[in-house]
Structure 1
Amino acid sequence: MVRDPAGFKPRMYPPPEFPPRKVPAFANTPPAIFPALLGLLGLVLALRVGLAHLGLPPGIGDLAAGLVVPLWAVGVVAYGAKLARRPGVIFEDLKVMPSRAGLSAATMGGMAAAALIAPYAPRLALALLVVALALHAVLALLVARVLSGLPPEGREVNPTWHLTFVGFIVGGVAAALLDQPGMARGLLWGTVFVAAVIWGLSGVQALKRVPPAALRPLLVIHLAPASLFTSVALLTGHMTLAVIFAVIAIGIFLVLAASFRWITETGFSPLWGAMTFPLAAFATALIRLGGVWAWAGLALLGLALVAIPLITWNVLKLWPGGRLAARTNAAEA
């Protein structure tokens, strides 16, 4: 028989609360809602580009934008209410990878929303774009600070770094649509080299070890920067650059498509939300390229119109009752 060491005292745990404590409204809003919401915003952007390419009326795209932008705003208000209860909770969320990715997707969503409302309210869209870029910059600094305090394994490069440190490029799309080509080019050149470093470090890391099965859906994020670079380059008249990034995006997509069963080996999880925006961004880039690539992009758009809402629904339905917060280790205010 194994005996307890001398002086050993068992740890005391508090008795379970009865009745169970009721969590205040929005106190545990999980940042993991935002990658899926960003995917919806990206899908509507892709839908608009697709309708324009086919010469169809934009009404369906405008209706979709009118539904999706307020949905993103609800998520922002919900997380804002959480911050209002306890501002320091953001540092707890930033220590967890799904929440870091989610908060980055939240501010990227502001840039995507600006692109959606640009044709109808350009001044409001420009203001939203500037605010979203500023908040994303603050968030990137906070993430860098939090990462510096984590143990070495917590500081290792991962695909979500694209969202935090390259996510500004979504603003490049909005800037181009708002007739701000200088801003769009600045965001393009300011993020290209960061993305290249993350791709390079990720490639070296992949040669050393296989990513855990649960985190493999995040690998799809690697597709987003190349797709967005393609779109911004096309919108700003850099055709050669657009072709280069398109080749990179197509290469990444083919690798991901060939690895789809391996990536999704563990079945559905909230991390699938991270796969939605890259798919929409890639479809948009292909349609903008024109020619035979546009038809490939339209085919992908058809797939995205089914897959992205389905994934988003399966993520968001976990939000009520705190299930999504529990699965993604979101902090409570």
Structure 2
Amino acid sequence: MSQTPPRIMPKPFNTAPQGLWRATPPAIFPPIMGLLGLGLAWRNAAKLFPSAPDWIGEMILGAVSLLYLFAVVAYLAKVVRRPSVVADDLRILPGRAGLSAGADAGFLFAAVLVPYSAGLARLVLVLSLIALTTVAGLTIRSFLIGPAEQRRVTPVWHLTFVGFILAPLSAVPLGYLGMSQFIFATTLPIAAAIWAISAMQFARADVPPPLRPLLAVHLAPVSLFGIVATLLGYTTLALAFAWIGLTALVVYLIGIRYLTKGDFSALWGAFTFPLAAFANLMFSAATLAPIPFRLVGGVELVGATLVIVFIAMKIMQLWTRGKLAKATNAATV
């Protein structure tokens, strides 16, 4: 008696590609960037508060540095399979934010390495400059060939075109003073233009609830310009940015219900690195004028730690469960 051959079911059209890290979402990088900034904030807090153990910051930085390296390898695994996937990810807002944050986080990683290995920190700094320049160039290309609505100015532009201001955090300690001054002078007008255009857009039309967390990104450049101004010895500018940042944080806290009206999403990662940057700004300004920046920085760091860790854990959980790539429309290979 002949047996009926087994029926072979056709492969579904929407089956995800098989293989490790074929759909790594760029959205993993903003919370990692926030965690790196948080670790640097705890490192700086230990210099100002005798009661703050220095091992807290180093423990955070060690763990998050490994997470960052793992995330970079996971994304590069996708790029190696098809390099054009970078351009695909840059066509969507979460992708542009994620890839820019991934390059920006490299500057923070370089700052982490400075006390341990100047040579390694220098290498990471150079690689990060190349990475962010590449992301910025591909983003401009995407704007030129994509639809007009893609060219609308968003807070993500700070990450892409102003993110170079993170470089002096390691470049100044490494002795690259001239380069740091050049970066400060060139990125400040770009940031000012983004702030101005964003303000005009906000005055004309409200921001949809799902995109409101991105508004927090505007605080990050304020904080970073203040920090770098301190490193470069621009005392008056540093204190001005510190007061502007403090005022902006108060405004954000007043409008927190407005910012968080939408459901939790990967875009909430935009809350993490501005909170960390602000803590570092306060500690930087405290070296010039301890009152009130030292106390404000300490209080904000405690709150920021809880918020950043919570958001980062939620986003990492989405990644490990395989839901983050689909939620952010990440490109697959």
**TM-score band w.r.t. shorter chain:** over 0.9
Is the contact made by 1:40 and 1:308 (CA closer than 8 Å) also made in structure 2?
yes
Is the contact made by 2:31 and 2:315 (CA closer than 8 Å) also made in structure 1?
yes
Report Cα offsets for 1:125-183 as digits up to 9, x if no partner: 01110110121111101101101122222110000000000001111112123233222
Report Cα offsets for 1:272-304 as digits up to 9, x if no partner: 111100000001101221112111011010011
Structure 1 18/180 Cα, relative in aligned 2: closer, same or farther at 3 Å? Answer: closer
Which residue number corresponds to residue 277 of structure 2?
A: 281
Equivalent of residue 191 in structure 1, options 187, 191, 197: 187
Which residue number corresponds to residue 315 of structure 2?
A: 315
Which residue number corresponds to residue 120 of structure 1?
A: 116
Q: Give the drift of 1:57.
A: 4.4
Structure 1 252/150 Cα, relative in aligned 2: closer, same or farther at 3 Å? Answer: farther
Structure 1 21/109 Cα, relative in aligned 2: closer, same or farther at 3 Å? Answer: closer
Aligned length: 319
Question: Within the alignment, does 1:222 sit opposite 2:218 as a pair?
Answer: yes
Question: Within the alignment, does 1:34 sit opposite 2:24 as a pair?
Answer: no
Is the contact made by 2:17 and 2:332 (CA closer than 8 Å) also made in structure 1?
no
Letter of the 1:251 counterpart: T
Q: Distance in 2 between matches of 1:140 and 1:279?
A: 24
Which residue number corresponds to residue 3 of structure 1?
A: none
Which residue number corresponds to residue 53 of structure 1?
A: 48
> Considering only aligned residues, what root-mean-square deviation do their CA atoms show, in Å?
1.6
Aligned-residue sequence identity (percent) comes to: 42
Structure 1 76/21 Cα, relative in aligned 2: closer, same or farther at 3 Å? Answer: closer
Letter of the 2:331 counterpart: A
Letter of the 1:302 counterpart: V
Letter of the 2:224 counterpart: L
Which of structure 1's runs of 4+ aligned residues deviate more than 6 A?
none
Q: Distance in 2 between matches of 1:85 and 1:331?
A: 12
Q: Give the drift of 1:58.
A: 2.1
Q: Distance in 2 between matches of 1:240 and 1:297?
A: 19
Which runs of 5 or more residues in structure 1 are unaligned?
1-14
Q: Distance in 1 between matches of 2:40 and 2:63?
A: 13
Which residue number corresponds to residue 94 of structure 1?
A: 90
Which runs of 5 or more residues in structure 2 are unaligned?
1-9
Q: Distance in 2 between matches of 1:58 and 1:21?
A: 45
Which residue number corresponds to residue 8 of structure 1?
A: none
Q: Distance in 2 between matches of 1:208 and 1:16?
A: 49
Letter of the 2:241 counterpart: F
Is the contact made by 1:222 and 1:252 (CA closer than 8 Å) also made in structure 2?
no
TM-score by length of 1: 0.92
Report Cα offsets for 1:229-263 as digits up to 9, x if no partner: 00011111110111222232223222211111011
Q: Give the drift of 1:323.
A: 0.7
Q: Distance in 1 between matches of 2:14 and 2:284?
A: 57
